[in-house]
Structure 1
């Protein structure tokens, strides 16, 4: 995700936080049961401030209500890094796969495809599968994820080095 996208999302979340302040709903927990989808973006700020239990609850609710790809990615990263949860690479990989399999027009699907492709390439939480990793990374690159294109170049360079040995 680009820095500009992060800045926009952070700005949106801060607007929500300012609205919560005006309504005396300052806690992150106030967003857990909110029926408004903007809360999925607010989960990012919640995680970044270290309130992982509230962030996890927000992301899980966004996944349950809307199968929100952004929330799937962030929840996967929490499980991958052990941020407020027990590390669980298999659960992280399953969440990334769920996000990657969304329709092409869904927001953030290219990013999910990139992360799923990397998980397959590196065998993080799943059996390593370079062929399927390449397919998902190519889809992510076609979705505009420059990181996927770079990863594919690294895979090609590593393959050339291995074949030269």
Structure 2
């Protein structure tokens, strides 16, 4: 199944002659929706600043499908304090949950990258450069070029052996 970017989905909904009604484009239509497309809509909802609705959508997507992208997005909300009280340990726990999903889960490499960075920097969790390296290598193997770049920075800051 080919995935469309969020912008493409929104553009399709706005085309003349489509059957999307204005209230279908509001978050209310998605908070309790049983359709998994709502997980992507949660991202758009957060980007427009409606963090309360985004949180409700992400939490439901996590509860129903253990949706990795929703785990990452919710973790970023807790890390930044957007729409929720900032909680780095909650953010780290959500990233870990996403990173531990099977290799074939959508966005799992992205979750592994973010979890590796949290471990490397001690963001919401005790710093562990060895574990960070393992997760970043798994993310890189899954195609996350940012993980390769972060591994290079880790190597550059490694203390010289005595």
Global fold match (TM > 0.5): yes
CA RMSD across the alignment: 2.1
Count matched residues: 158
- Aligned counterpart, 1:34: 33
User: Structure 2 CA distance, aligned partners of 1:65 and 1:102?
Assistant: 15
Q: Does residue 124 in structure 1 map to residue 123 in structure 2?
A: yes
Of Structure 1 and Structure 2, which has the larger fraction of its residues in helix? 1
SS of 2:36 mapped into structure 1: coil
Structure 2 portions without partners, runs of 5+:
none
TM value normalised by structure 2: 0.90
Contact 2:92 2:115 in 1 (8 A): yes
Query: Are 2:9 and 1:12 aligned?
Result: yes
Match of 2:104 in 1: 105
Where 2:5 maps in the other structure, the secondary structure is helix
The residue number in structure 2 matching 1:63 is 62
Which 5+ residue runs of structure 1 have no aligned equivalent? Answer: none
1:25 alignment partner in structure 2: 24
TM-score by length of 1: 0.88
2:100 counterpart of 1:137: no
Is the partner of 2:103 in helix, strand or coil? coil
Deviation at 1:27, TM superposition (A): 2.3
